[in-house]
Structure 1
């Protein structure tokens, strides 16, 4: 099981945080985080439900992590193990994650696939997303997996879709000509783009595109 304590500064005050596996006792807070991250008009039925969360902690607890600060859960990240065929990279989020239920978890898989990452809006200036991603890299190495993989949204693409293809947009984000809230964040976490996927996720801002981004285990 995973547990890591570290310090960060919150409003100028040093605060200890704990990165750990989430458990059944955290479910209500995890759902509350989803509500804060995806408020109306985002449909509430697409927030985590307790059946999904139960699967996360039962099927692959190593991939169910959260950050706790002052006895409050402030962020979470969830992964699932899959077998990834790099010659056939295209897929949807739904296919890769079993719609978030992860019943497709493959204990013999070679890839840790990121299902979701959520940070309470009030705590988004603390680099918690990067801290959680680093924790998942630890899981990849400790589990002897080939890579961490996931599809990044492209929320800034709708502003450029009239002038750029999805691939051209990603190329300009990689070259720092354009900043994208998600892709730029993942690049700073050490993730590299593999390919752009059509109809990855229903997402108007991204025009339903996603970009697959990986981090390879340096010890494999």
Structure 2
């Protein structure tokens, strides 16, 4: 199980932070994190619900992480194990995450698949998102998995969808011609592009597409 202590710098001041596995006692706080991270007009029904969170901690607690500063949760990250041969390259979020319930978690899978990562606005420039990602990389290594994989939204793409394919947009982000708030973050975390999934999720900003981004276990 994960329990990591570190310091985040908030307005230049260090704040002791813990990254750990979340549990049933964190459910209300995790929903508060979702509420702060995805305010209206984001649909409330797409925030985590307690039934989903219960599935996470029962089926795969190693993939259920949160970040805590003092007595406040400031971020979370969730993943499950899959065998990608069961889904193919052009998969969608709903299918591969079981609608966020991860009931399709495969304990024999070789890929740690990211379901969600979110950080409340006040802590988004502290590096905690990168630390959560690093903690999932450590889970990949600890479990002897092949890689971490997940679909990254491309919220900057919608404005260019009339002139660029999602593949071309991703190429331009990788070449440095454009910046995308999600894909650029994932690149900074060490994730590498592995393709584009069309109709990945209902997301007008991304024109419903996602970049499939991976991190390979360097010890395998």
TM-score of the pair, normalised by structure 2: 0.98
Q: CA deviation at 1:87?
A: 9.5
| Structure 2 portions without partners, runs of 5+ | none
Q: Distance in 2 between matches of 1:175 and 1:86?
A: 32
Q: Which structure shows the higher helix fraction? A: 2
Report if aligned partners of 2:87, 2:96 keep a CA contact under 8 Å in 1.
no
1:196 aligns with 2:196: yes
Q: CA deviation at 1:12?
A: 1.6
Report if aligned partners of 2:8, 2:127 keep a CA contact under 8 Å in 1.
no
Report if aligned partners of 2:29, 2:73 keep a CA contact under 8 Å in 1.
yes
Paired residues for 1:127-138 under 5 Å:
127-138=127-138
Q: Distance in 2 between matches of 1:87 and 1:30?
A: 29
Which deviations, in whole Å up to 9, do the C-alpha atoms of 1:67-87 show, x marking residues without a partner? 110111000000000001399
Runs in 1 of length 4+ with deviation above 2 angstroms?
85-88
| Stretch of structure 1 that moved more, 11-20 or 73-82 | 11-20
Paired residues for 1:14-163 under 5 Å:
14-85=14-85, 88-163=88-163
Report if aligned partners of 2:8, 2:128 keep a CA contact under 8 Å in 1.
no
Query: How many equivalent pairs are there?
Result: 220
Which deviations, in whole Å up to 9, do the C-alpha atoms of 1:34-61 show, x marking residues without a partner? 1111111221111100000000001000
TM-score of the pair, normalised by structure 1: 0.98
1:210 aligns with 2:210: yes
Q: Distance in 1 between matches of 2:58 and 2:163?
A: 46
